[in-house]
């Protein structure tokens, strides 16, 4: 983002102070939507860097917009100032704007304002907060006021490990510039912020798009670009035959959910391999789906499938390990989930035989069982990037924001989905979707991106009218959601 900043200043003939003005205007526009009442009393806490400069400009622009109770506190813990901060301070002084200087955290007056704008430190943070900044953050946090941060909460690193014992100036909302920071997507960010929204500040979009970054955010447009329309004269053979190896006596539902999702996501044919006791359930619940006896999981039978998913509800016994050994010998694209992942976690030798181009779909616990315990999500993601390269496979690391890591270690972040989806069976549905798109001929990465986006999007649509979303319902919805996405 700093490179885009510099490029825009150079190539769009825009000065850095103008860019700060543009950023502050974008902040104020979003702020006005969040806080429409112009009588709201607002304290703007400004550090001495460019984040503080934004705060000064925001205070002035809020006044211009009709906010009548805006007060500025200059957090003067450092002797260094930036040029644009100084210019914006002068603009405020010229307006006779009342300014309170705070040289030590203990000098911060008992703030009476209902709302605090945090412009103390932004993305220039180079280490975790300590000293006066830490005391200030703790004092402000203790006030329990509504806080809206400019760009990032003070003390929150845009990237790198988020330590559990770090102190942040906690924000209810962060209005950030141009692109979200990678650390916003980790569960640990909840210690520092509740929500974020992104505003455009006019940086050169072409430059941002062309600048290579290891992180991409999946968007509806990407899905539209990836999904191929169903052409005339095609038939069930065109859309691939997927096999799902899943389920035991007491976890047959996992197999049904995965198969249901596979079917509704458009695979030409879906077959499940479950214990024979599940046959009636399959025939009753999913008449389109075919059955393959476990005893028939032999190389010559399996070669005909266009994709095989294995794991949901399968159990971690010897049978699972034996099936894995068999399917690892094939040239069929694989999707590995749940118990199959746990078996690989128990046997590193088997993991080494994983065919390249496979798709692994672990949640946090399965991931740590496979690759070792992690203290932070940053570290976990770094391991995922390393392992995806080593295994030449795609890893879907599931969470509220799911990370899709490709064979080069690049990360696509999936923004769809919601807490209504926090219910058993949701992962089984995702596995069925992955199998379906792999069978339809999409690459492991394409299948992962389409499946994750679609999964969350269908969940979001259901959550518009429901508190919680059942996995079977979501599986039945994906076809309609996909149609809406590619229209």
Ligand X SMILES: Nc1ncnc2c1ncn2[C@@H]1O[C@H](COP(=O)(O)OP(=O)(O)O)[C@@H](O)[C@H]1O
Residue span binding ligand NPW (CB under 6 A) among the ranges 147-155, 208-216, 249-257, 444-452: 147-155
Number of residues that this document lists for the chain? 487
**Least distance to ligand NPW, CB of residue 60, Å:** 14
Does residue 273 touch ligand NPW according to CB under 6 A? no
Does residue 480 touch ligand X according to CB under 6 A? no
Number of residues that bind ligand NPW (CB under 6 A): 32
DSSP per-residue codes, 31-49: HHHH---TT--EEEEE-SS
Task: Give dist(CA 42, CA 97) in Å, integer.
Answer: 14
Residue 283 annotated as part of some ligand binding site: no
* Residues 168-197, mask of contacts with ligand NPW (x by CB under 6 A): ---------xx-------------------
Which residues, other chains included, contact 61 with Cβ-Cβ below 8 Å and sequence gap of 6+? 24, 25, 28
**Least distance to ligand X, CB of residue 447, Å:** 14
Q: Which residues of 66-88 are buried (b: 16+ CB within 10 A; e: fewer)?
A: ebebbbbbbbbbeeebbebbebb
State whether residue 250 is helix, strand or coil: helix
**Least distance to ligand X, CB of residue 18, Å:** 39
Does residue 150 touch ligand NPW according to CB under 6 A? yes
E-state strands within 224-326: 241-245, 269-273, 290-291, 307-310
Query: Alpha helices of 66-103 — where are they, by DSSP H?
Result: 83-94
Does residue 241 touch ligand X according to CB under 6 A? no
Does residue 421 touch ligand X according to CB under 6 A? yes
Does residue 454 touch ligand X according to CB under 6 A? no
* Residues 276-295, mask of contacts with ligand X (x by CB under 6 A): --------------------
119/302 with CB nearer ligand NPW: 119
Task: Give dist(CA 206, CA 204) in Å, integer.
Answer: 6
**Quick check: 156 and 189 in contact, CB under 8 A?**
yes
**Quick check: 227 and 485 in contact, CB under 8 A?**
yes
User: Which DSSP category does 189 fall into?
Assistant: G
4/411 with CB nearer ligand NPW: 4
Does residue 317 touch ligand X according to CB under 6 A? no
Considering only residues 42 through 61, tell me which ones interact with ligand X, judged by CB under 6 A: none
Residue span binding ligand X (CB under 6 A) among the ranges 129-137, 139-147, 225-233, 420-428: 420-428
Does residue 478 touch ligand X according to CB under 6 A? no
For ligand NPW, the nearest residue by Cβ is 124
* Residues 375-404, mask of contacts with ligand X (x by CB under 6 A): -----------------------xxx-x--
Does residue 118 touch ligand NPW according to CB under 6 A? no
Residue 402 annotated as part of some ligand binding site: yes
State whether residue 467 is helix, strand or coil: coil
Considering only residues 320 through 349, tell me which ones interact with ligand X, judged by CB under 6 A: none
Which residues on neighbouring strands pair with residue 118, listed in sequence order?
45, 149
CA dihedral 273, 368, 392, 436 (to 10 degrees): 30
**Least distance to ligand X, CB of residue 361, Å:** 7
**Closest residue by Cα to residue 330 from 366, 348, 306, 350:** 306
Q: Binding ligand X by CB under 6 A: which of 54, 128, 428, 446?
A: 428
Does residue 223 touch ligand NPW according to CB under 6 A? no
Q: Which of ligand NPW, ligand X, none does residue 118 bind (CB under 5 to 8 Å by kind)?
A: none
**Closest residue by Cα to residue 240 from 318, 307, 300:** 307
| The pair of three-digit structure tokens given for residue 213, joined into one six-digit string | 């970054």
Q: Binding ligand NPW by CB under 6 A: which of 15, 78, 214, 468?
A: 78
Which residues on neighbouring strands pair with residue 149, listed in sequence order?
118, 174
| Burial class of residue 455 (count of CB atoms within 10 Å of its CB; 0-12, 13-18, 19+) | buried
**Quick check: 326 and 260 in contact, CB under 8 A?**
no
Task: Give dist(CA 305, CA 242) in Å, integer.
Answer: 6
Annotated binding site for AMP: 398-402, 427
Annotated binding site for (6S)-NADPHX: 50-54, 122-128, 133, 151, 254, 313, 363, 428
- Contact residues for ligand NPW, defined by CB under 6 A: 1, 5, 19-20, 23, 47-54, 78, 80, 82, 121-127, 129, 133, 150-152, 177-178, 201, 203
- Contact residues for ligand X, defined by CB under 6 A: 363, 398-400, 402, 417-419, 421-422, 424-428, 430, 455-456
Annotated binding site for K(+): 51, 118, 154
Annotated binding site: 50-54, 118, 122-128, 133, 151, 154, 254, 313, 363, 398-402, 427-428
């Amino acid at each position: 983002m700093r490179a885009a900043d510099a490029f825009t200043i150079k190539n769009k003939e825009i000065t850095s102070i103008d860019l700060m003005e543009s950023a502050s205007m974008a902040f104020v526009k979003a702020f006005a939507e969040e806080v429409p009442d112009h009588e709201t009393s607002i304290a703007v806490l400004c550090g001495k860097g460019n984040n503080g400069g934004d705060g000064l400009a925001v205070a002035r622009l809020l006044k211009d917009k009709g906010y009548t109770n805006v007060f500025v506190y200059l957090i003067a813990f450092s002797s260094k100032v930036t040029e644009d901060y100084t210019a914006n301070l002068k603009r405020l002084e010229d307006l006779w704007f009342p300014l309170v200087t705070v040289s030590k955290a203990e000098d911060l007056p008992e703030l009476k304002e209902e709302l605090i704008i945090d412009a103390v430190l932004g993305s220039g943070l180079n280490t975790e907060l300590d000293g006066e900044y830490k005391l200030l953050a703790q004092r402000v946090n203790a006030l329990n006021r509504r806080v809206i941060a400019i760009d990032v909460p003070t003390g929150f690193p845009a990237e790198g490990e988020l330590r559990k014992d770090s102190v942040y100036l906690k924000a209810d909302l962060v209005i950030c510039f141009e692109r979200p920071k990678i650390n916003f997507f980790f569960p640990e960010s909840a210690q520092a912020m509740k929500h974020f929204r992104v505003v455009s500040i006019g940086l050169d979009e072409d430059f941002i798009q062309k600048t290579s970054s290891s992180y991409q955010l999946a968007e509806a447009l990407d899905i539209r670009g990836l999904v191929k329309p169903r052409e005339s004269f095609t038939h069930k053979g065109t859309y691939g035959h997927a096999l799902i190896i899943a389920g035991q006596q007491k976890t047959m539902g996992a197999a049904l959910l995965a198969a249901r999702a596979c079917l509704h996501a458009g695979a030409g044919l879906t077959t499940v391999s479950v214990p024979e006791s599940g046959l009636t359930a399959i025939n009753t619940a999913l008449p389109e789906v075919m059955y393959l006896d476990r005893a028939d999981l032999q190389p010559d039978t399996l070669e005909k499938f266009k994709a095989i998913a294995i794991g949901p509800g399968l159990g971690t016994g010897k049978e699972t390990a034996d099936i894995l050994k068999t399917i690892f010998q094939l040239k069929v694209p694989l999707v590995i989930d749940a118990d199959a992942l746990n078996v690989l976690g128990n046997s590193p030798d088997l993991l080494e035989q994983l065919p390249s181009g496979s798709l692994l779909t672990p949640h946090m616990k399965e991931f740590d069982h496979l690759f070792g315990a992690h203290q932070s999500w940053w570290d976990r993601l770094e391991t995922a990037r390393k392992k995806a390269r080593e295994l030449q496979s795609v890893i879907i690391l599931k969470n509220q924001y799911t990370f899709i890591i490709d064979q080069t270690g690049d990360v696509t972040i999936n923004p769809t989905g919601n807490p209504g989806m926090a219910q058993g069976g949701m992962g089984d549905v995702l596995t069925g979707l992955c199998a379906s798109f792999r069978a339809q001929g999409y690459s492991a990465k394409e299948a992962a991106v389409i499946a994750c986006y679609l999964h969350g999007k269908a969940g979001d649509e259901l959550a518009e009218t429901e508190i919680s979303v059942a996995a079977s319902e979501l599986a039945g919805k994906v076809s309609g959601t996909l149609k809406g996405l590619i229209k």
